């Protein structure tokens, strides 16, 4: 077992977000769906949370109810209570409660999330409706996003409102932050676990009628995670405490809001999150010895809603994001030498995003809601790479413009038609790669058009049928156009957008008292898919000998079924679960490689959960997850696995909860990526207090 480093390296930019917070403060089961049926009332749902309503994005003919999660026609929701009940402290773990969501593990020790088979870069990530994915490649490490300050997580699969803007081919994940309802409210939590894990969280808010303030602070640190006792030691991993698996995450969030009247709201948010992590080495091969001394994101958001009379509403969002991280690439497992040779040294990334959106909503026409949108987003990517000789420097930027129209028509009291169209333009800016001479030619702008329609029929106040169809696009990222991967790829600035056709039919409802059910069939076909073209498809991409390129040459089909149910059998016993069957298939691929696979997607994922309350002050929770086999490359298939999580919670006082539990209680040895085993049996104990 090795001792994790003291992560004391802090870039100067970290001080700015903290200063902003100080200045501003001186100024003053898993849910199956958001409520089904347009006639339901938020007050009837005992689990409604104090959510930030400016941060929710909905498809509905009626204006969203203030202070609750509004009716979203197809969205799934993970509530704050469910994150606490199942101890889901990171975004990846919370999302894994839902059907249609698959978790995978990247070789950079990152958690990735796919929706209905689509790779993670096709899933849009938002905080209060504002895009927060990494500018360079559109991806993000979902383990770096903690859930302590969230009120809910909304997930829309396939069909998504055009209000989210471009690049939402697979769906969207929207993190909805808290908003206080009372004069003073909050909660605090501390915890400990295997691997010397410790956490501390506190959230405090106050609503004074015409203004409110909400703040949160969380800290999580772990020295390592424990491998299963079934793991067989190898030359590169001796078992027990996983080598180089330390992590640390801290997050500060602050929101100041003004509510001068019942219709208007203006909120300024600051979020500062800072992480550090080790990257466990591949247990099967002597590969990378990497550490991330910092993985930071600092954000400043402004969200407003202004009534323009009784029939029009103007919403404005402005944002500034900075993404800073560094990789230390060592020569060997001693983690002492950064030589600066190929594959070792240091890489430093400084990415920035500035943008905003304007929405004009009108209910002037009877039973109809019209929304016009305009989006602007400017991404900048700066990289200093000292992992080779000579060092390399990348500077590039993109500007993204988008316009959209959404029309939601209440045809009858029980029938809603939602229509949306959008146009996106990607304008590549400067490209400066120090290792590319002559310089790359700046490509022409790229355009894409999206269109969609959804029809929702309410069978009753608690049940509905729906069908949706959409044509969506995904604009090529900077990484897919310009990344050379140590010379193994030739850049392709001329890449074009991917195109998908998505269809879904489903049911959400309460067929009888005490049980909620959802069912959906989905089908997507992706053309012009960006994939790797190989000069020699029988060899890996390597510099000089087999230099590859990303091209619009693939076609992939995703289809499947989702089922979910939740039932309160008695006052003491609640049962539920969901299942997803996905059938991804490569229709065509570059070089027409035989046996090409869609990776990181099990064909079957099933979850079951049970909550038993023998006493009013005691709760026993069990959660079972089963994943079938999955391909992680064209030739490697990992085995199926089943894990069991258990927890007991006790309330000695009304607002005080003590709990103890174990994840992977059966100590299953399993992997989500070849050579990267997941944690074995992990114990934890927490205490929380609400006020």
Q: Where are the domains of the chain?
A: 14-690
- Res. 14 pLDDT band, cuts 50 70 90: very low
Is residue 466's pLDDT more than 50?
yes
d(CA 118, CA 558): 8
> Quick count: other Cβ atoms within 10 Å of Cβ 593?
16
- Arithmetic mean of pLDDT, 452-456: 96
* Separation of alpha carbons 631 and 274, rounded Å: 33
Q: What is the pLDDT of residue 439?
A: 79
- Per-residue confidence band for 58, with pLDDT thresholds at 50, 70 and 90: low
Q: For residue 15, give every residue at least 6 positions away whose Cβ sits within 8 Å of its Cβ, in sequence order, or none.
A: none
Q: Name residues whose C-beta falls within 8 Å of residue 328's C-beta, 6 or more positions apart in sequence.
A: 290, 291, 292, 293, 338, 346
Q: Are strands 312-330 and 185-193 parallel, antiparallel or unpaired?
A: unpaired
The stretch 461-468 carries a mean pLDDT of: 93
| Residue carrying structure tokens 């890996």 | 540
**Mean predicted confidence (pLDDT) in 186-191:** 98
Give tens-digit pLDDT for 619-643.
999 999 999 999 998 889 999 999 9
Cβ atoms of residues 140 and 483 within 8 Å: no
pLDDT band at 63 (very low <50, low <70, confident <90, very high): very low
Helix (H), strand (E) at residue 17: helix 14-26
Give percent above pLDDT 70 in the chain. 89
Strands 515-533, 549-568: pairing is antiparallel
Distances in whole angstroms, Cα of residue 216 to Cα of each of 21, 25, 189: 11, 12, 12
What separation in angstroms does the CA of 572 have from each of 47, 645, 654? 17, 20, 18
SS3 691: coil
For 520-539, how does the pLDDT look when each residue is reduced to its tens digit (9 = 90+)? 999 999 999 998 898 988 88
Bridge-based pairing state of the strands 641-653 and 676-677 = unpaired
Could you say which of 3.30.420.40, 3.30.230.70, 2.40.170.20, 2.40.110.10 is the CATH number of the domain covering 14-690?
Answer: 2.40.170.20
Percent of the chain with pLDDT over 90: 72
Preceding omega of 545 cis (within 30 degrees of 0): no
Task: Show the tokens assigned to 227.
Answer: 């491998």
* Rounded-to-integer distance, Cα 243 and Cα 507, Å: 46
Residue 512 bridge partners (DSSP): 515
Q: What is the dihedral of CA 403, 405, 406, 412, to 10 degrees?
A: 180
**pTM for the predicted model, two decimal places:** 0.89
What mean pLDDT do residues 71-85 have?
80
pLDDT given for residue 90 in this prediction: 96
189, 219 in Cβ contact below 8 A? no
Question: What does residue 177 show for φ and ψ, rounded to 5 degrees?
Answer: -85, 170
pLDDT band with cut points at 50, 70 and 90 for residue 593: confident
CA distance 562 to 581: 7
CB atoms within 10 A of CB 654: 8
């Amino acid at each position: 077992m090795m001792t994790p480093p003291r992560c004391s390296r802090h870039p100067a930019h970290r001080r700015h977000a903290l200063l902003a917070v100080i200045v501003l403060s001186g100024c003053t089961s898993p849910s199956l769906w958001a409520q089904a049926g347009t006639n339901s009332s938020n007050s009837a749902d005992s689990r409604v949370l104090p959510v930030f309503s400016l941060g929710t994005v909905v498809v509905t003919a009626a204006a969203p109810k203030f202070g609750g999660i509004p009716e979203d026609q197809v969205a799934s929701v993970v509530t704050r209570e469910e994150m606490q009940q199942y101890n889901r402290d990171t975004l990846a773990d919370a999302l894994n409660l839902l059907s249609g969501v698959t978790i995978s593990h990247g070789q950079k020790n990152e958690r990735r999330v796919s929706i209905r088979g689509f790779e993670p870069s096709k899933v849009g990530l938002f905080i209060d409706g504002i895009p927060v994915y990494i500018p360079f490649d559109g991806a993000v490490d979902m383990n770096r996003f903690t859930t302590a300050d969230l009120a809910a997580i909304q997930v829309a699969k396939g069909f998504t409102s055009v209000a989210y803007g471009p690049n939402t081919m697979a769906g969207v994940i929207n993190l909805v932050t808290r908003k206080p309802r009372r004069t003073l409210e909050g909660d605090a939590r501390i915890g400990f676990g295997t691997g010397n894990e410790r956490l501390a969280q506190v959230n405090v808010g106050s609503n004074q009628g015409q203004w409110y303030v909400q703040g949160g602070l969380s800290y999580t640190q772990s020295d390592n995670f424990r491998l299963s006792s079934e793991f067989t030691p190898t030359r590169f991993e001796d078992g027990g405490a996983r080598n180089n698996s330390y992590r640390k995450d801290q997050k500060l969030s602050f929101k100041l809001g003004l509510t001068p009247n019942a219709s208007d709201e203006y909120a300024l948010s600051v979020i500062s999150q800072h992480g550090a992590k080790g990257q466990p080495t591949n247990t099967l091969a002597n590969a990378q010895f990497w550490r991330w001394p910092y993985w930071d994101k600092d954000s400043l958001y402004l969200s407003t809603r202004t009534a323009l009379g009784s029939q029009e509403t103007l919403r404005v969002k402005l944002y500034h994001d900075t993404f800073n991280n560094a990789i230390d690439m060592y020569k060997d497992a001693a983690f002492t030498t950064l030589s600066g040779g190929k594959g070792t040294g240091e890489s430093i990334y400084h990415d920035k995003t500035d943008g905003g959106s304007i929405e004009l909503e009108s209910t002037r026409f009877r039973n109809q809601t019209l929304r016009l949108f305009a989006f602007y987003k400017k991404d900048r990517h700066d990289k200093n790479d000292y992992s080779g000789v000579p060092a390399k420097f990348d500077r590039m930027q993109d500007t993204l413009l988008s316009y959209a129209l959404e029309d939601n028509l209440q045809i009858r009291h029980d029938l809603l038609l939602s229509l949306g169209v959008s146009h996106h333009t990607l304008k590549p800016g400067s490209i400066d790669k120090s290792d590319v001479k002559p310089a790359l030619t700046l490509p022409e702008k790229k355009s894409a058009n999206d269109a969609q329609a959804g029809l929702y029929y309410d069978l009753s106040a608690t049940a509905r049928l729906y069908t949706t169809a959409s044509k969506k696009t995904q604009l090529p990222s900077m990484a897919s156009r310009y990344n050379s991967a140590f010379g193994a790829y030739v850049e392709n600035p001329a890449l074009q957008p991917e195109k998908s056709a998505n269809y879904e039919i489903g049911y959400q409802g309460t067929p009888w008292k005490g049980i909620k059910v959802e069912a959906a069939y989905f089908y997507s076909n992706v053309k012009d898919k960006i994939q790797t073209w190989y000069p020699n498809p029988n060899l890996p991409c390597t510099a000089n000998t087999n230099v590859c390129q990303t091209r619009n040459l693939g076609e992939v089909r995703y289809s499947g079924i989702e089922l979910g149910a939740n039932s309160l059998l008695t006052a003491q016993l609640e049962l539920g679960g969901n299942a997803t069957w996905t059938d991804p298939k490569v229709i065509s691929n570059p070089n027409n490689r035989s046996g090409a696979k869609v990776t990181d997607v099990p064909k079957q994922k099933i979850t079951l959960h049970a909550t038993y309350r023998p006493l009013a002050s005691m709760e026993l929770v069990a959660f079972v997850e089963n994943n079938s086999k999955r391909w992680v490359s064209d030739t490697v298939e990992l085995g199926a696995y089943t894990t069991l999580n258990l927890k007991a919670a006790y309330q000695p006082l009304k607002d005080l909860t003590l709990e103890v539990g174990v994840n992977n209680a059966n100590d299953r040895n399993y992997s989500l990526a070849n050579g990267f085993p997941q944690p074995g049996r992990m114990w934890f104990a927490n205490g929380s207090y609400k006020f």
